[in-house]
Amino acid sequence: MSDEIAENGTANGDVPEIELIIKASTIDGRRKGACLFCQEYFMDLYLLAELKTISLKVTTVDMQKPPPDFRTNFEATHPPILIDNGLAILENEKIERHIMKSVPGGHNLFVQDKEVASLIENLYSKLKLVLVRKDEQKSAALRAHLARIDALLERRGTRFLTGDTMCCFDCELMPRLQHIRVAGKYFVDFEIPTSFRALWRYMYHMYQLDAFTQSCPADQDIINHYKLQQALKMKKHEELETPTFTTSIPVDVSEPHAD
Amino acid sequence: MSDEIAENGTANGDVPEIELIIKASTIDGRRKGACLFCQEYFMDLYLLAELKTISLKVTTVDMQKPPPDFRTNFEATHPPILIDNGLAILENEKIERHIMKSVPGGHNLFVQDKEVASLIENLYSKLKLVLVRKDEQKSAALRAHLARIDALLERRGTRFLTGDTMCCFDCELMPRLQHIRVAGKYFVDFEIPTSFRALWRYMYHMYQLDAFTQSCPADQDIINHYKLQQALKMKKHEELETPTFTTSIPVDVSEPHAD
């Protein structure tokens, strides 16, 4: 089903094997793609595999040419797809709930923290606005949001959002920070200010973690993800347009030979 | 083989039927595409069909999903393709030579005019440079070239490049002028100066001619043609790139908890 299979955790009969199907890179079908939810659940499950409560199998599927058995089983469903004991879970919210309720050790990841939950929930939509509008006002809104996250990290003084160990919020936030960093810089020269020291320290710790580095797409894949989105948007727009033909003339040139 | 078939000229046994296969629009496979050579030969043959020396059949092929019989016959060959009496001619230079030497009436289109031939031959490459480099120097070079064409038209005082009837040079030049006008304006805000009165008069006459209007792609198709070229260039570039991962940190944040 895939060219790239990462395994982690013990594969003996003591712990259940969980399979996560993720989207491949749109540049090279053998690489991991820049799918935020794929990376988020990859990180959640990687942490559980490190704790040896599960054995994790990650399968990469190239959606530009999905293998026949993938199409047979899942038709038009896109990854992430979680497979647990023969049961395929296709929707993001259900995957999250399944990890929390049914995957051994999962409940420990789902810390209750309303402040953090509401702080990070609209961050990503601000990046999308920056990439679409490309104006300084939207960049300033994104920067202000990052400043609030920086302030919380500074105030709490913990290594991660809710303490010194990772939780579901970290698995949600960090892939989005990486997209902001890489795509923001590439498309609109947006940079996370170096004055956000607590935020950079947070990212520094993330960059040391296997759960992040094993699941993280290449910069080029992040960039290409947004390029393709923009190209598709353009194409859709153009398909709806009535074709026009520029054949007007900006000057008076009528019948010069009749002069 | 096609959704759109345009026929022109008499279809009786007196004149040969020539089929020209052209590329479809990349936005809507039923429309004509922005292929310069397709339009050039379409115009040549349309003029001959108007003179009733041939009967012309134009077939549009959507290269994103070519019909099975097209793939069987021509494999990876792209239009334009000319079919005359069961013989398929695949290369542009051979199509041109075939129209000149073997298609009835064709030799009349191929006027000898060295001044015009050398005047128009490098015009299009200047548009490509403008679109790639996007700097004023390249725009100025394109404008200067158009000024020379304007000056020739002004000096000669003829409706078309070599006289008051169209010839092969007009069928070559006008599609390229239309690309310069539409894509130049869209991508780099390049405009043909209104002071080029003889050139605008020339375009005005072209816009009245069926040979041009029947063969001309929509503005959107011209624009999308260059957008796709740019996207493909980007993708090729990225496939060759070694994947990189931005995980460096611009500030010193090493082990703040050890302080």
Q: How far apart are CA B31 and CA B198, in angstroms?
A: 31
Using the beta-carbon criterion (under 8 Å), do A244 and B219 form an inter-chain contact?
A: yes
Identify the DSSP state of B24: B
Q: Which amino acid is at B233?
A: K
pLDDT tens digits, A15-43: 999 999 999 998 888 899 999 999 999 99
CB contact under 8 A, B28 and A201: no
> Residue B239 and residue A204: Cβ atoms within 8 Å?
no
Instruction: State how far the Cα of B2 lies from the Cα of A241, in Å rounded to an integer.
Output: 22
Residue A24 CB contacts under 8 Å (≥ 6 apart), including other chains: A4, A30, A31, A32, A33, A60, A61, A62, A63
- Res B8: pLDDT: 46
Report whether pLDDT(A72) > 90: no
Q: Which of B226, B222, B111 is nearest to B168 (CA)?
A: B111
- Domain limits of chain A? 1-110, 111-208
Per-residue model confidence as pLDDT tens digits over A177-234: 999 999 999 999 999 999 999 999 999 999 999 999 999 999 999 998 998 887 777 6
B195 to chain A: closest CA residue: A251
pLDDT at B9: 42
- Select from A200, A226, A246, A252 the residue whose CB has the most chain B CBs within 10 Å, as the one to mutate to test that interface: A246
Least confident window among A7-16, B66-75, B97-106 = A7-16
Are residues A31 and B159, on separate chains, in Cβ contact within 8 Å?
A: no
pLDDT on residue B248: 80
Contact B182 A243 (CB under 8 A): no
Mean pLDDT of chain A: 87
Mutant choice from B64, B155, B220, B248 vs A, greatest count of A C-beta within 10 A:
B220
pLDDT by residue (tens digit) across B13-39? 589 999 999 999 988 888 999 999 999
pLDDT (0 to 100) of residue A38 = 97
Kindly indicate the confidence band of residue B6, based on its pLDDT and cuts at 50, 70 and 90: very low
Query: For the segment B225-246, what is each residue's pLDDT rounded down to a tens digit?
Result: 998 887 767 666 777 778 778 7
With beta carbons less than 8 A apart as the criterion, state whether A225 and A41 touch.
no
Beta bridge partners of A5: A59
What count of other Cβ atoms lies within 10 Å of the Cβ of residue B251? 14
Look at residue A165 and tell me whether its pLDDT is greater than 60: yes
Work out the burial of residue B208: count CB atoms within 10 Å of its CB; fewer than 13 is exposed, 13-18 middle, 19 or more buried: exposed
Q: Is B13 on the interface with A (CB under 8 A)?
A: no
* CB–CB contacts below 8 A, A to B: 95
Hey, what are A242's tokens? 């009535």
Which residue, among A203, A216, A222, A238, would best test binding to B if mutated, counting the most B CBs under 10 Å from its CB?
A: A238
Chain B residues touching A246 at Cβ < 8 A: 178, 181-182, 219
Cβ neighbours, 10 Å, residue A223: 21
Summarize pLDDT for B173-208 with one digit per residue, the tens. 999 999 999 999 999 999 999 999 999 999 999 999
Q: Any chain B CB within 8 A of the CB of A64?
A: no
Residue A1 confidence (pLDDT): 42
Evaluate if residue A9 carries a pLDDT over 80: no
Per-residue confidence at B4, pLDDT binned at 50, 70, 90?
very low
Reported as a single tens digit per residue, the pLDDT across A90-145 is 999 999 999 999 999 999 999 999 999 999 999 999 999 999 888 899 999 999 99
Q: Is the confidence at residue A164, as pLDDT, over 80?
A: yes
B69 burial (CB, 10 Å; 0-12 / 13-18 / 19+) is exposed
Distance from CA of B195 to the nearest CA of A (A): 9
Distance from CA of residue A168 to its chain's centroid?
A: 14
Residue B169's contacts (CB-CB under 8 Å, 6 or more residues apart) are: B111, B113, B116, B117, B120, B161, B162
Domains B1-110 and B111-230 share a fold: no
Is residue A75 very low, low, confident or very high in pLDDT (cuts 50, 70, 90)?
low
* Cα(B99)–Cα(A97) distance, integer angstroms: 69
Distance from CA of A104 to the nearest CA of B (A): 31
Query: Is A48:A109 a contact under the CB 8 Å cutoff?
Result: yes
**From CA A132, how far away is CA A136, in angstroms rounded?**
12
Distance of CA B87 to the CA centre of its chain: 24
For the beta sheet containing B55-61, the strands, ordered from the edge strand earlier in sequence to the opposite edge, are B5-8, B55-61, B17-23, B81-84, B87-89
What mean pLDDT do residues A38-58 have? 97
Q: Which residues of B touch A224 (CB under 8 A)?
A: 235, 238
pLDDT over threshold 80, residue B247 = no
Fold classification of A111-208 is: Glutathione S-transferase Yfyf (Class Pi); Chain A, domain 2 (1.20.1050)
CA-based nearest distance B27→chain A, Å? 6
Phi, psi of A87 (to 5 degrees): -100, 125
Q: Is the pLDDT of residue B257 over 60?
A: no
Which residues between 116 and 135 in chain B have a beta carbon less than 8 angstroms from any beta carbon of chain A? none
The helices-and-strands tally (H runs, E runs) of chain B is 11, 5
Interhelix angle A136-156/A123-133, rounded to 10 degrees, is: 160
Mean pLDDT of chain B: 87
Can you tell me the distance from the alpha carbon of B80 to that of B35, in angstroms, rounded to the nearest whole number? Answer: 8
pLDDT at B156 over 90: yes
Per-residue pLDDT at B79: 92
Q: Which CATH superfamily is domain B1-110 in?
A: Glutaredoxin (3.40.30.10)
**Does B259 have pLDDT greater than 50?**
no
pLDDT of A2 > 50? The answer is no
- Convert the pLDDT of each residue in B93-135 to its tens digit: 999 999 999 999 999 999 999 999 999 999 999 999 999 888 8
Which helix (H) or strand (E) segment holds residue B99: the answer is helix B92-101
In 3D space, the residue among B124, B146, B131 whose CA is nearest the CA of residue B226 turns out to be B131
pLDDT of residue B163: 95
**Count of CB atoms within 10 A of residue A210's CB?**
13
A228-258 pLDDT per residue, tens: 887 777 666 777 778 778 878 777 776 544 4
Q: Do B197 and A221 touch (CB under 8 A)?
A: no
pLDDT for residue A254: 61
Per-position DSSP letters for A28-45, written without gaps between them:
-TTSBP--HHHHHHHHHH
The pLDDT value recorded for residue B66 is 76
Confirm if B199 and B144 have CB atoms less than 8 A apart: no
Within 8 A of B238 by CB-CB distance, chain A residues are 27, 220, 223-224
Cα B175 from Cα A54, distance rounded (Å): 64
Cβ–Cβ under 8 Å, residues B235 and A190 = no
Nearest to A197 among B213, B223, B253 (CB): B253
- Chain A residues in contact with B239 by the CB 8 A cut-off are 27-28
Residue type at B221? D
Residues B111/B117/B123/B124 CA torsion (nearest 10 deg): 60
List CB contacts (< 8 A) between A245 and chain B.
213, 216, 218-219
CA dist., res. B92 & res. B67, Å (int): 22
Virtual torsion, Cα B65, B70, B72, B75, nearest 10 deg: -70
pLDDT in the model for residue B244: 79
What pLDDT does A3 receive? 37
Query: Is B5 in CB contact (< 8 Å) with chain A?
Result: no
Q: How far is A178 from B162, CA to CA, in rounded Å?
A: 61
Q: What percent of chain B has pLDDT over 90?
A: 69
Tokens of A59: 């399968």
Top pLDDT among B133 and B169 is at B169
H or E element at residue B11:
none
Q: Would you place residue B222 in the very low, low, confident or very high pLDDT band (cuts 50, 70, 90)?
A: very high
Looking at chain B from residue 176 to 235, which residues have their Cβ under 8 Å from any Cβ of chain A? 178, 181-182, 194, 197, 200-201, 203-204, 207, 213, 216, 218-221, 223-224, 227, 231, 234-235
CB contact under 8 A, A227 and B220: no
- A24's enclosing H/E stretch is none
Topology of domain B111-230, CATH: Glutathione S-transferase Yfyf (Class Pi); Chain A, domain 2 (1.20.1050)
Do A1 and A69 contact (CB within 8 A), yes or no? Answer: yes
